[in-house]
Structure 1
């Protein structure tokens, strides 16, 4: 009887806070809030894409969606202004669908670029924020967030006073609203504590925020190469409470020419719901192709200790692409890593192929003919299998996925064709004339690859590296042979 009364009480609390019962429990392996944050720069998803994403999220047992598209002008640039009637209606429909699917809609506003923290302007901005949130409350949203990320100024005192005021005068005055979520301006550990020294901003904000305000951050960096338990514990200690993760994969707004089709990877399996209260996945502009990584992130958030990124990735592609799954794995395998001078995230592209080419060049340099030929046979078969997979995907991939991935598929097709000619030359079975013709075709396709790199990048450090290495090696060899003639 006592257990029944306890369960009824828990169910009542879940209804009050508009959260699924699973999100309220701390005794299971799952992270409390598990979901998607539409928080990328670029073209926001449209209404149909958001409705579809909610259905997909429900199928993956995700229970929260943060509405925060950076380039929605009414989220960031014109945050004080109410949404137009048609957009307001869309948000109302989104909220109603989310409730039916037991998904918590979290409405976020990013006021940091031009908010006034000082009197008398701060009074107007506080009122504007309450009006903004109240309009969303009226359509049934019961969870809110304030974002101060990616802004040019650090004002911890002003932010804390503003956020605390909103918490006192809007959130806490309505008992059916869930705790307020905040994203600070310093939102990863290397910002918060460079060289181990906590910044004044983070120290002031952490000490000034009311304790019931929940805070999200991205890990050790903006796009880190994994998430370690030590990082999580260090940030929790800075703020004196359990924090939430905003995971920046598969988001690619800083590298739009590349698709992030791998799993969420290098996440510490020792993490539990006692370490983080939320795990939000920031997707690409391309919602359909984002579903691969989102599905793997859902697996992690449901049970970090049992997460296997390879198994989760294989299963996600199988579930989403059925008979085309094997072909899609070949494509996706070549488009996983996002890397620049500050982002280092995702599995390496086609690591097996990269390793094979590393071995091939060693054999070429050592002039080991028999093992070189065996390796070339493997590479030629890999090339043919990939070419067939790309052809099938271009012909049969579902329209939404094809529309999102066609430029990269066609680029991989070009690279595969260039690789074919390089392998023919390396086989040493061709005449000098045939090698000259093959190299001319190789160079022609390589120019096409270069012409499309601004809109489509893929397999840069694997297949792309081989193409560049071969061009340099054979180009120099051709010049040497011509000079000897």
Structure 2
């Protein structure tokens, strides 16, 4: 048996929000498998992103406080991911006042893991790494959080980030690592934004560049975006060998839009670390599916896996879609309800959502 790294959920996807009850169900399902960290950071929560300087409405703030308390009871560290939108371009006094107020609220809510997320934003700042490190240290002096983590603007080797958000500054990662206090953790997604494989060799290089082990922000089984939301991501994890454990400070997954179904691959990740070289992703999927779905529904989902995950909505005929709908209506289970919503197109994430959230 291999040692398992600290595992976590980082709710960081675009698209429709989970309900608070769904979040509780995810925590309850995954805490026994070693998921001891939860960051609340959905892109659709504007008060963490484009309207970050405004306080959450009272009902949402109350729900956040209740969820923080629930996580404590489950022995799960509750975190928030704040995206102070493009603040590094103009960190002036009004921005500092708004950020200080936000941090004070997070302390009142009981946030123990605070993440400052600089991902998916345009930058016109030449000394980007130094500016971002200064902001992180400013936050550290004013936050009561036990752990501070940053997501860099360039959080992967993937050249798509340079195409969309502008060319990364030369040696950005090394400069950020040198400037940051050693206690600050850094998120990293791998060689790609949605990495097919994450290897010990790659992580060793990133650790050397940052001067610390990264926390993996793993973009599987997330399925946001116009193309990915047409597919259910259900299969067991692959391409994440247990040997990665030596080169990471933690492993957090960005979950799928479907809260019950996402726990199936999440459980396989925990198993892959425990079993090491003995891990078998197909067998792990079957066991996790039975645990989450029960035997009958697990068998049905397994039989339909090629359609649900590989073919996707756009390649399912209307006749086949009707047949699948009739089939899953027979099951009284939240996962079956999620499949039905997906078949109806209710989880579709549009390009407009991604551009405006």
Please classify the TM superposition score into its range, dividing by the shorter chain length.
0.7 to 0.9
The Cα shift of 1:210 comes to: 1.4
Residue 149 (structure 2) aligns with: 181
Q: Secondary structure at the match of 1:297?
A: helix
Find 1:406's aligned residue among 333, 340, 356. 340
Residue 218 (structure 2) aligns with: 247
Aligned-CA RMSD value: 3.1
Q: Taking CA–CA contacts closer than 8 Å with sequence separation of 6 or more, which of the two structures ends up with the larger relative contact order?
A: 2
Paired residues of 1:70 and 1:76 also in contact (CA < 8 A): yes
Deviation readout 1:25-45 (Å, 9 max, x if unpaired): xxx7110x2111100001121
The change in CA–CA distance for 1:397 and 1:115 in structure 2 (over 3 A counts) is: farther
The Cα shift of 1:252 comes to: 1.0
The change in CA–CA distance for 1:399 and 1:164 in structure 2 (over 3 A counts) is: same
**How do 1:192-231 and structure 2 match up within 5 A?**
199-231=170-202
The change in CA–CA distance for 1:288 and 1:86 in structure 2 (over 3 A counts) is: same
**How do 1:3-402 and structure 2 match up within 5 A?**
29-31=3-5, 33-118=6-91, 121=92, 123-153=93-123, 155-167=128-140, 169-171=141-143, 174=144, 177-190=145-158, 199-254=170-225, 255-272=228-245, 274-302=246-274, 304-322=276-294, 323-336=296-309, 390=324, 393-402=327-336
The Cα shift of 1:117 comes to: 3.8
TM-score by length of 1: 0.62
The Cα shift of 1:294 comes to: 1.6
The change in CA–CA distance for 1:391 and 1:287 in structure 2 (over 3 A counts) is: closer
Say how many residue pairs are matched. Answer: 330
The change in CA–CA distance for 1:193 and 1:132 in structure 2 (over 3 A counts) is: closer
Q: Secondary structure at the match of 1:102?
A: coil
Deviation readout 1:21-73 (Å, 9 max, x if unpaired): xxxxxxx7110x21111000011212111122121122333111111001100
Q: 2: distance between equivalents of 1:338 and 1:391?
A: 16
The Cα shift of 1:391 comes to: 7.7
Q: 2: distance between equivalents of 1:335 and 1:315?
A: 18
Q: 2: distance between equivalents of 1:455 and 1:89?
A: 29
| Structure 2 unaligned regions, length at least 5 | 163-167, 313-319, 350-357
The Cα shift of 1:125 comes to: 2.1
